[in-house]
């Protein structure tokens, strides 16, 4: 694996934005910005021998800073924090102290996705980003130091290792919001084949907020245990925006999803130490100009957002998402690309 750091010439609050490219012996390349820890490219060789970018995004950093894009913001390729997904009414308490944050999705109005992260020195070819979130930012308590390391292995694994420490008890639930499409020409992802090893999904209310109830997937459109086309059972006007509880030991690295696309012959396996995979088929995606001037519309991508149970801060029966001083938050997620067996 090799790395290459390139200045974009753009600054936010006096901090320079860089693009860092990671490459491997297979000729694959990943481009990551230290703004929002954005994964902007993941170029691989498909089963036909063609180079193919499997991630939605923009040709350069200006696209991610464009006002029109930010006005209808889909979180393309960014880290999400301090708290991913939704917290009921933006309210929660820690040790009897109540907190009220903005009701915005994914950590508030200006979350980790809109910060310029520091690039730390590394010994091996990799990228480690660090952001120190101050006490009170987006109403979260404690000074939280977060590090995220990216590696691209020679087995075509994009490895994300997260860690965080705090000086006061705080809520944390990080994920990465990468939009994938394994078809070289893009388009609707209904024909992608997907398997999710999850016997239960999390019930949501009308605002997509997790209620605390687990629901068996058996006999529902959410049953991906045996694998099927994404569009096989979906409502084509709604798609999927659902959290699945993975059938694996808590905290252990295991399979979260397996996706194949017949035209390209590509396969994407996602592994994680997290207990939940949130599956989203981009219902609200509406980006006029993406890579190569091409726009992105609803259902033209899918996301596998590995995380803890959403809204855990308000559901005592769920595994805790409270990080305390002296403890370390850790998470690993791996996106592995290969060719599907024909």
- For the chain, how long is the longest CA-to-CA vector? 58
- Rounded distance, CA 22 to CA 20, Å? 7
User: Which of 79, 90, 93 has the alpha carbon at shortest distance from 133?
Assistant: 79
Kindly state whether residue 9 falls inside one of the protein's structural domains: no
Q: What pLDDT is recorded for position 103? A: 63
- Grade residue 172 by pLDDT with cuts at 50, 70 and 90: very high
H helix count then E strand count, the chain: 2, 25
Q: How many CB atoms lie within 10 A of CB 166?
A: 26
User: Which of 17, 270, 3 has the alpha carbon at shortest distance from 159?
Assistant: 270
**4, 173, 314 from 324: Cα distances, Å:** 36, 13, 17
Kindly state whether residue 177 falls inside one of the protein's structural domains: yes
Structure tokens at 6: 């390139």
Kindly state whether residue 15 falls inside one of the protein's structural domains: no
Residue 248 belongs to domain with CATH number:
2.70.98.10
The sign one gets for the Cα dihedral 151, 302, 258, 211 is positive
Per DSSP bridges, beta strands 193-195 and 39-45 are unpaired
Kindly state whether residue 23 falls inside one of the protein's structural domains: no
**pLDDT tens, residue by residue, 74-109:** 999 999 999 998 888 888 999 999 998 876 666 678
Per-residue pLDDT for 341 more than 70?
A: no
Structure tokens at 24: 């491997």
DSSP type of residue 108: S
Q: Cα 309 from chain centroid?
A: 14
Is 191 exposed, middle or buried, given 0-12, 13-18 or 19+ CB atoms closer than 10 A? middle
Work out the end-to-end distance of the chain between its first and last CA atoms, rounded to an integer number of angstroms.
29
**pLDDT tens, residue by residue, 259-314:** 999 999 999 999 999 999 999 999 999 998 999 999 999 999 999 999 999 999 99
* Domain boundaries, position 164: 60-109+134-145+153-339
Kindly state whether residue 116 falls inside one of the protein's structural domains: no
Q: What pLDDT is recorded for position 27? A: 95
User: Quick check: 126 and 150 in contact, CB under 8 A?
Assistant: yes
Q: Cα 59 from chain centroid?
A: 20
Kindly state whether residue 199 falls inside one of the protein's structural domains: yes
Kindly state whether residue 265 falls inside one of the protein's structural domains: yes
Q: Tell me how many domains the chain contains.
A: 1
Mean pLDDT of the chain: 94
Query: Per-residue pLDDT averaged across 43-51, rounded?
Result: 96
Kindly state whether residue 35 falls inside one of the protein's structural domains: no
- Strand-pairing partners, residue 287, are 296
**Which residues lie below 8 Å from residue 249, measured CB to CB, with a gap of 6+?**
none
To 5 degrees, how large is the angle CA 257–CA 327–CA 85? 40
To 5 degrees, how large is the angle CA 87–CA 38–CA 188? 80
| Active-site annotation, residues | 177, 305
């Amino acid at each position: 694996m090799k790395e290459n750091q390139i200045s974009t010439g753009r600054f936010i609050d006096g901090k320079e934005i860089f693009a860092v490219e990671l490459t491997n012996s297979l000729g694959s390349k990943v481009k990551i910005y230290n703004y929002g820890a954005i994964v902007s490219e993941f170029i691989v060789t498909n089963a036909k021998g063609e180079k193919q970018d499997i991630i939605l995004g923009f040709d350069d950093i200006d696209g991610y800073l464009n006002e029109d894009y930010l006005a209808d913001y889909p979180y393309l390729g960014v880290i999400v924090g301090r708290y991913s997904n939704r917290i009921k009414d933006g309210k929660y308490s820690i040790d009897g102290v109540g907190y009220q944050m903005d009701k915005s999705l994914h950590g508030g109005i200006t979350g980790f996705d809109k910060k310029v992260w520091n690039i730390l020195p590394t010994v091996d070819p990799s990228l480690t980003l660090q952001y120190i979130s101050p006490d009170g930012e987006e109403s979260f308590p404690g000074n939280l130091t977060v590090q995220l390391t990216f590696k691209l292995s020679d087995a075509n694994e994009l490895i994300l290792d997260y860690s965080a420490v705090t000086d006061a008890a705080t809520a944390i639930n990080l994920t990465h919001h990468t939009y994938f499409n394994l078809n070289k020409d893009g388009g609707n992802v209904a024909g992608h084949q997907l398997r999710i090893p999850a016997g239960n999904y999390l019930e949501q209310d009308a605002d997509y907020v997790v209620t605390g109830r687990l629901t068996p997937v058996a006999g529902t459109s959410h049953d991906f245990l045996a694998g099927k086309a994404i569009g096989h059972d979906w409502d084509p006007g709604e798609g999927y925006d659902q959290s699945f509880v993975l059938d694996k030991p808590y905290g252990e690295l295991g399979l979260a999803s397996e996706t194949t696309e017949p035209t390209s012959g590509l396969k994407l396996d996602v592994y994680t130490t997290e207990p939940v995979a949130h599956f989203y088929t981009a219902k609200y995606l509406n980006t006029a100009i993406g890579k190569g001037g091409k726009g992105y519309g609803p259902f033209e991508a899918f996301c596998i957002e590995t995380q803890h149970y959403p809204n855990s801060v308000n559901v005592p029966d769920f595994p805790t998402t409270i990080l305390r001083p002296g403890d370390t938050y850790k998470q690993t997620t791996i996106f592995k690309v290969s060719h599907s067996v024909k």
